Amino acid sequence: MWVIVAENLRKVKLVKSLLATLLCAIVVAPAEGVERVIFRDGSRQREVEGRLVIEAQDGGLLLLAPDGVLWAVTPEQQVARSSDERPFQPLSAEQLGKQLLAELPGTFRTHQTAHYLILYDTSSGYAQWCGALFERLYATFSNFWSRRGFPLREPEFPLVAVIFAERAQYLKFSRAELGDAAESIIGYYSLHTNRMTMYDLTGAEAALRGSSRSSTATSISQILSRPEALRTVTTIIHEAVHQIAFNSGMHARFSDSPLWFTEGIAMYFETPDLTSARGWRGVGAVNQARLQQFNQYLRNRPPDSLRSLIADDSRFRDPKKALDAYGEAWALTWFLLRQRPEQYLGYLKALSAKKPLIEDGPEKRIEEFEEHFGKIEQLDGEFLRFMSKMR
């Protein structure tokens, strides 16, 4: 589970960096049209055109490029800036694939599905298997929320997944964004680039067995359905849920949606049934790994645990507390979706309307939560009684 913890720490650091960069306590509404910005990015000069998402009072910018990348640019970085009235136009899958192939090693190819653009240098069978898995997840996720009164919008950009054949090449590529944390992360969704990056999981499993990797859908599913492969598959699905949620109107990238909420949703969908063509027959079933985490935490759970989980994200940032935070976030999500579904939907709609890079603070978070669910202390008692039946 440390894979997910490390990835969460990376997300928090990046968000905090952007918050400090743009000084977004006060922002002004962006103008319509396309913005063109030339700015210094480290030792190089970069030119980006895109849609202006936020302009801070001091002139800092958050710019969405046609390839889905979000750029935060301070006033000090800016070299030149202009705008025109052309409508913003995201790259098509074909255009985006051509751009990304130019950035990746020459061995990469593309595989396209209804919603995904997969770039890979592993077997075409594995790329197709991943595409089918992600599409099954997308359909399940969309249907689940639509039936509950929260229809998701179609993604503005193709959902990109970059799949390396070997872990060594994946590490070399991902260190530029993750740093040393790349060693403990087998796959991740980047809020900055809007892409998932991972490596061929069958290669790792085959190496453990001393055999060759597989390339047919049946053999891949057989390999990754084994108990020893559960953690790796769970991590990839967890990150794929984040990508869908941040591209379909559920969360805004770099908004101040509480981590217990965004991570709770990802954990709710974590484990697919790889032996079934339907893929997620057990959506919402008890996540045994997370339940075990939560039950272990209950032995020393402090009285203000629920309040601290909701008020800020500090427990997720602390490696000594993060696993317990994940366990409680899953349990709270599971409880609310079963016992308070209408209130949960209202809370979801309120959080989905949040704007990027505007930080609420603990008091605001508590206020919003209690507006939908009532006093935390009263809910906590109901929550613990409900979860005690699952031991």
Kindly state the tokens that stand for 346: 């209202």
Residues 6+ apart with CB under 8 A from 16: none
Highest mean pLDDT among 112-116, 167-171, 209-213, 316-320: 112-116
**CB atoms near residue 363 (< 10 Å):** 9
Local confidence band at 388 (pLDDT 50, 70, 90 cut-offs): very high
Mean pLDDT of 350-355: 92
Nearest-angstrom CA–CA distance, 259 and 309:
9
Domain ranges of the chain: 22-84, 91-250, 288-388
Range from 15-19, 164-168, 225-229, 234-238 carrying the lowest mean pLDDT = 15-19
pLDDT: which is higher, 289 or 38: 38
- For residue 28, what pLDDT is reported? 52
Average pLDDT, the chain: 86
pTM given for the model = 0.89
Nearest-angstrom CA–CA distance, 363 and 53:
26
State residue 151 phi and psi, 5-degree precision. -65, 135
Local confidence band at 221 (pLDDT 50, 70, 90 cut-offs): low
Nearest-angstrom CA–CA distance, 102 and 81:
27
Nearest-angstrom CA–CA distance, 280 and 313:
29
CATH superfamily of 91-250: Collagenase ColT, N-terminal domain (3.40.30.160)
**pLDDT greater than 60 at residue 333:** yes
3-state secondary structure the chain: CHHHHHHHHHHHHHHHHHHHHHCCCCEECCCCCEEEEEEEECCEEEEEEEEEEEEECCCCEEEECCCCCEEEECCCCEEEEEEECCCCCCCCHHHHHHHHHHHCCCCCEEEECCCEEEEECCCHHHHHHHHHHHHHHHHHHHHHHHHCCCCCCCCCCCEEEEEECCHHHHHHHHHHHHHHHHHHCCEEECCCCCEEEEECHHHHHHHHHCCCCCCCHHHHHHHHCCHHHHHHHHHHHHHHHHHHHHHCCCCCCCECCCHHHHHHHHHHCCCCCCCCCCCCCCCCCCCHHHHHHHHHHHCCCCCCHHHHHHHCCHHHHCCCCHHHHHHHHHHHHHHHHHHCHHHHHHHHHHHHCCCECCCCCHHHHHHHHHHHHCCHHHHHHHHHHHHHCCC
Burial (0-12, 13-18, 19+ Cβ within 10 Å), 201: buried
What whole-number percentage of the chain has pLDDT above 70? 82
Local confidence band at 282 (pLDDT 50, 70, 90 cut-offs): low
Cβ(358)–Cβ(255) below 8 Å: yes
**pLDDT greater than 90 at residue 340:** yes
Range from 13-27, 93-107, 148-162, 192-206 carrying the lowest mean pLDDT = 13-27
Rg (CA), the chain: 21
Range from 172-186, 278-292, 347-361 carrying the lowest mean pLDDT = 278-292
Residues 6+ apart with CB under 8 A from 98: none
CATH classification code of 22-84: 2.30.30
Burial (0-12, 13-18, 19+ Cβ within 10 Å), 9: middle
pLDDT: which is higher, 320 or 358: 320
Range from 250-264, 274-288, 345-359 carrying the lowest mean pLDDT = 274-288
- For residue 81, what pLDDT is reported? 94
- For residue 6, what pLDDT is reported? 42
Range from 5-19, 77-91, 109-123, 351-365 carrying the lowest mean pLDDT = 5-19
- For residue 213, what pLDDT is reported? 54
Range from 130-144, 264-278, 301-315 carrying the lowest mean pLDDT = 264-278
